[in-house]
Amino acid sequence: PWRPAFESCEHSPQQDNGHDCGVYVMAVAARLCGWQAAAPAQLLGRLPELPKLVTPAAVHALRGEALLLVRELAAREEKGL
């Protein structure tokens, strides 16, 4: 049977406040999924790039994108779409 593999990542960026942890998880997951889809064999070698890509500015932008998406989906639901 398939078993998940776990890799420790000392390069994982972390928030410097008490409220952005979930958005950091989303940003890191998006990068990892993109890398996995594009070139699975290179995924582990790219981990050191994470702190350069998942920055406070990138997380701030993602927070805004997520908020817009939630508002759009809520508006659709209200309209019954």
Per-residue pLDDT of the chain (81 residues; tens, 9 = 90+): 888 888 777 888 989 899 999 999 999 999 999 999 999 999 989 999 999 999 999 999 999 999 999 999 999 999 987
pLDDT, residue 77, reads 93
Q: Residue 3 falls within a domain, yes or no?
A: no
> For the chain, what is the domain count?
1
Assess contact for 15 and 24: CB atoms under 8 A. yes
CB-CB neighbours of 21 under 10 Å? 12
Distance of alpha carbon 56 from alpha carbon 49, whole angstroms: 15
Q: Residue 64 falls within a domain, yes or no?
A: yes
Enclosing domain of residue 70: 20-79
pTM of the model: 0.81
Q: Where are the alpha helices (DSSP H) in the chain?
A: 21-38, 43-46, 50-53, 56-79
Q: Residue 13 falls within a domain, yes or no?
A: no
Side-chain half-sphere of 63: how many Cα atoms within 13 Å? 14
